[in-house]
Amino acid sequence: MNNLQLFVIKTFGEDSDAIKTLESFKGRADKFTIVDSFFEINSIDKDDEGWFAVFYDNEVLDERLAESLEEFFKLSEADVLVCFKKSKDSQSKCPRFFRGDIELKLECLASALEDKLVHQAILNGWVLDANYC
């Protein structure tokens, strides 16, 4: 894999399952860290040459998306990869994969330098909410 560090944010909900989130990456995450906040993610050292992903503990990757990640990491010139999320009642899109040198805003899944970065949408699969699975 291409140095992927997975951060899983605790939600403390009934459907929380950080291990299920990790398992949905099918061994493609080189490092795995459970965190309480975006601030905590920014304070942890990341590989500037790799990527990091941010997911909540009630989300998983669908299999098609997990299988296509490595190609996106190798071929994309983007700084941020945006995924589409499917839950029981809605669909949305959100940045989920970031180059290792990017710092997040403290309150959301966005870069502190959002306007200066190249974003690419991944259409190969979904991030699935636990209620959807």
Instruction: Kindly state the DSSP code that residue 107 receives in the 8-state scheme.
Output: S
pLDDT of residue 124: 87
For 6-42, write each residue's pLDDT tens digit.
999 999 999 999 999 999 999 999 999 999 998 999 9
In angstroms, the CA 133 to CA 52 distance is 24
Give CA–CA dist 15/129, Å, rounded.
9
Domain positions in the chain are 4-129
For residue range 56-86, list pLDDT tens digits in order: 999 999 999 999 998 999 999 999 999 999 9
- d(Cα 105, Cα 16) in Å, to the nearest integer? 23
Whole-prediction pTM value?
Answer: 0.91
